[in-house]
Structure 1
């Protein structure tokens, strides 16, 4: 008896389509992601379902964080009490900027319980050598605790140097805790951190995943970069721990990024975020997150100039707080809005905000790397760069190595520096953290850094995009179809 292969094929196609529809619609997600996954599941019958098993499923509810916003509120109350004890003080220039932009401040208070931390000292780093030199100095000088959380913690030269320092500090009796992302730190196994554990420290992969390859929550990555030392010094930005971030990889060459060193009450926001992430990750050694412990939140007497809010977002919340902050900044800009991001895959809301700003006469500039590190992501980035260029946004390709900075500055008043890119993944899938900064001097410093970067960048005109080959434009358009799940 001969087999009617055409009939078999038709049955497989129909069954696959039905299963694809059931699979995608059984979980709540936005319409763009639904269509993207339907495209993958229907046109790649078996491969598509395997991909969905690893990167398409939603984060299980029982693994979500126990978000205790009242901890943030306790910190805010404590800071307000300190201000009262200090007596009435004349407002600083940063206070005036924060008051002028009170709607931004209020939005973050409402969506993320992000308190306004005043009078911080902030140092900007754009070179990995300078950043790691200072970070190593701070680790060596630590007296009580070292909390580290990175997407990437590689087993390479700088990774081993940092690990050796952490082992030494743990042997001295300090509390040393490390969170790393198993996917972002591919090649770094649990065994790598064994010397730290033997010395009395702790290290776990984010959410305590056992394997980056076999983890069925691959889509949800800990992209945050947090360091808190003695509860008094904090680091936040785009750098990870690895030799490539020091320009030691030929593939990327010079690595251009932006990172902040913070002293002041702004560190409390980093510390509280770390504690929540630690308790969601560690099966043991939990930190009391129900109250503000002076051990982790020491009284600060820093007299800096910068007001800030530390804002985090992730798939555990539907608010997309950092994206809301980006949109708010873009729409508030009256003179200019300058952005640096390695990935440009905005959703419709961000795309419309950029269009509105550009059409309103605001000088909107977006600086991107001139080289890819992920093929599909880069082609999708090029698609949106071409589209925005036609809308009046100035697109620059950074030529001096790989641009990884995630910054936004508007009108020389407000700036954002952190881990979140201008893409779907950072908005909806990754766990991210940014510092939103209210200070004219710091905003102008970041503006001047941007202007210096323009000196080694190339402006991409609409005519240059039009001259791209048909094949390249096809790859860009096809990659854009998958943008909601890239």
Structure 2
């Protein structure tokens, strides 16, 4: 009797989760509103070391005179984060308008006293993507994974880094942290500003006026590029088109590799037509099951001649695609189902051969610190790994 009751309750919970996710997804797609950005020209700098990035970012923050707009997925509770927050508070007290937007799940542990201190010091603070009924489970899965900083409407940052000690080598297990983050000065900052304000309005319901001071005149930079903002709907098709355009080579750098079936088919077709595909992932893992979820895909790709490398000197968190040495994508999206179908992401497609060549040199440097994964390694008998692969495949949509 008790077993029957528990089984009935479990069935009801599974049914609720299914209906919640299915109809939540339908409403999300129906109500989707996204920004479309044109091609721009900006000066672009790529950071791969957290210490260098935050030295530059903090310096820019400290010189702000009008406004600071910041969106991060994660801000940790540690001394490094406190230094970042103190800069925001000091600037707000000096009269600079400061907005800080954090993802509710990503920064779930962000201390209440931090939030209260920010508000006392005139920093406008908000969480985005707070789960809500009637589709609580679906909204719990959606995340704002963008990391945007705009300073005085003239300098902008976007990429893979968040705020916390691990990003500057403070976590012994994940150190050094390898990531790619962009700094832009030029026309593209306008689009970063637009996206931040759209995300702020969605989270707070505050209709921020498009004040001219948020959008000062910006010079043309040297590098042609275009931003692509996605919200769990269009990224799969964008990636497939990007892969389908490859003629010679295609590089993928990502901390997680869990492609959808159509995206995997695009990679397989590229190999069939002679495109050399190289994939770089970390050897270390910062989340359970994500490595095991990638192994079935790697087996099939390796059989077709793809090259897979596991970064060994630290944790590899970069998100980069390079096609034919002619254009590349650096941004916030991972090569996984969560970025494809759930997260709000922001990628920068770069068409400047000089920047693309530099990005490729950085990735080749990372490959030189990696070991090559072989089919023999993946096919060695391992009962526990096989069990984890099975579990990972069953929940791959959420990895």
TM-score by length of 1: 0.76
Query: CA 1:64–1:222 in structure 2 vs 1: closer, same or farther (change >3 Å)?
Result: farther
Choose 368-377 or 239-248, whichever is displaced more: 368-377
Which SS does the other structure have where 1:375 is aligned?
A: coil
Structure-2 residue corresponding to 1:384: 297
Aligned residues of 1:181 and 1:206 also touching (Cα < 8 A): yes
Mapping of 1:54-203 within 5 angstroms? 58=25, 67=33, 112-117=35-40, 119-203=41-125
Contact 2:129/2:139 (CA < 8 Å) preserved in 1? no
SS of residue matched to 2:274: coil
In 1, the alpha carbon distance for the partners of 2:166 and 2:17 equals: 39
CA distance in 2, matches of 1:451, 1:61: 39
Partner of 1:300: 218
- TM-score normalised by L of structure 2: 0.92
1:403-422 correspondence runs (5 A)? 403-422=316-335
Q: Measure how far apart 1:322 and its partner are.
A: 2.9
Structure 2 segments unaligned to the other structure (5+ residues): none
> Following TM superposition, by how much is the alpha carbon of 1:367 offset from its aligned partner in structure 2, in angstroms?
0.5
Distance 1:23 1:354 in 2: 32
CA contact (8 A) 1:256 1:405 kept: yes
2:179 aligned partner: 257
Number of corresponding residues: 396
RMSD (CA atoms): 2.5
The structure with the larger Rg is 1
Per-residue CA distance 1:274-307 (angstroms, 9 max, x = gap): 10110111255x312xxx53211111124x2211
Match of 2:146 among 221, 224, 242: 224
Per-residue deviation, 1:199? 2.2
Report 1:354-365 matches (<5 A): 354-365=267-278
2:344 is aligned to: 431
Alignment of 1:346-357 (within 5 A): 346-357=259-270
Q: Distance in 2 between matches of 1:454 and 1:116?
A: 31
- Secondary structure in 2 aligned to 1:257? strand
CA–CA separation in structure 2 for the residues paired with 1:437 and 1:350: 21
2:242 is matched with which residue: 296, 313, 329? Answer: 329
**Cα distance in 1 for residues equivalent to 2:30 and 2:91:** 31
Tell me the distance in 1 between the aligned counterparts of 2:168 and 2:398.
30
* Partner Cα separation in structure 1 for residue 19 and residue 140 of structure 2: 20
Task: Say if 2:20 and 2:137, in contact at 8 Å, map to a contact too.
Answer: no
Question: Does structure 1 residue 397 correspond to structure 2 residue 310?
Answer: yes
Q: Structure 2: how far apart are the matches of 1:190 and 1:391?
A: 52
1:402 to 1:22, Cα distance in 2 relative to 1, 3 A: closer
CA distance in 2, matches of 1:171, 1:181: 24
Contact 2:257-2:335 at 8 Å conserved across structures: yes
Structure 2 residue aligned with 1:369: 282
Give the drift of 1:314: 1.4
Q: For residue 476 of structure 1, report the CA deviation from its aligned partner.
A: 1.2
Q: 1:26 to 1:454 in 2, by over 3 A?
A: closer
Gaps of 5+ in 1: 30-56, 70-111
Distance in 2, Cα, partners of 1:447 & 1:428: 27
Could you give the per-residue CA deviations for residues 14-43 of structure 1, whole angstroms, max 9, x where no partner exists?
Answer: 6754774575257647xxxxxxxxxxxxxx
Report deviation, 1:190: 3.5
- TM-fit CA distance, 1:64: 6.2
